[in-house]
Amino acid sequence: MLRPALSRFHLVAILALLSGALALAFHNAVLFVVVLAVFLTISGLGVAFPQLSFFGKFICRGKNSQRCVALTFDDGPDENSTPMLLDLLKKEEIETTFFCVGERVAANPELTARIAREGHLLGNHSYGHSNFTNFFSSVRLKTELSQAQTAIEKISGGAPKFFRPPMGLSNPHIFRAARELGLIVIGWSARGLDTQISDPQRIVSRIARRLEPGAIILLHDGNIPAARLVPTVKLLLATLRERGYDVVRLDKMIK
């Protein structure tokens, strides 16, 4: 079995280790502190920004040969908002991707089945969506992802091929667990910060500034009131049409 290529994290770590050793060899404490600070800063940015693909390959955009974007929703299914979102998507004849939390899938089997039945793609968003996911060991992460895979496959009939880490945070363990389960790690190129911003116009305007062919758009259906989610998606779809973009399912845009 081929070993995975060195990630940017590994290359930076090797460079930091060599530089730190050199600083110690010359008894240069200032240089050592600078090297350590730079390494920690770069690593921190790598944790928070999927677009850097620091610890492994994040797919944050699809093919840009056509004017298409992929719309993705995280943290559901949510019985208080997902049904109304599905009604809108069905009316608009739009297929999207739902990165589902395993616990919510198990608690809402009929809603999960409806998502799959209406042509949407289901992705893995961990089983418990813990705020401490990024501190889990590789073994625990693999268990989390496996549980979510099982829950989704049991209801939809197919195991997810794509995984988005909770909050988009990552580290080497995330990629090791995903690799062992054959999962492709997905990020985004445009998001509206809809968990923090309540005004649909502001959410869509933020996404619109980052639109480009092949964009992967991040929104949430979990824990977002339907009264805000549905108007936001309506406005976004209208904006995409005005700019000549088609919405396609994630797997169709990156295959």
Residue in 134, 112, 130, 133 with CA at minimum distance from that of residue 121: 112
pLDDT for 2: 45
pLDDT for 5: 72
Residues 6+ apart with CB under 8 A from 72: 96, 97, 98, 99, 123, 164, 186, 188, 216, 217, 218, 219, 250
For residues 73 and 97, the answer to whether their CB atoms sit within 8 Å is yes
Point out the residues of the chain with pLDDT beneath 70.
1-4
Tokens 């979102």 belong to residue = 85
pLDDT for 4: 64
Would you state the structure tokens that stand for residue 59, as one six-digit string?
A: 């797919």
Report the catalytic residues.
74, 220
DSSP E strand stretches across 25-140:
68-76, 97-100, 121-124
What is the pLDDT of the chain when averaged over all its residues?
A: 95
Would you state the structure tokens that stand for residue 187, as one six-digit string?
A: 């990020």
Query: Could you give the 3-state DSSP secondary structure of residue 190?
Result: strand
pLDDT for 3: 57
Q: Which helix (H) or strand (E) holds 15?
A: helix 8-25
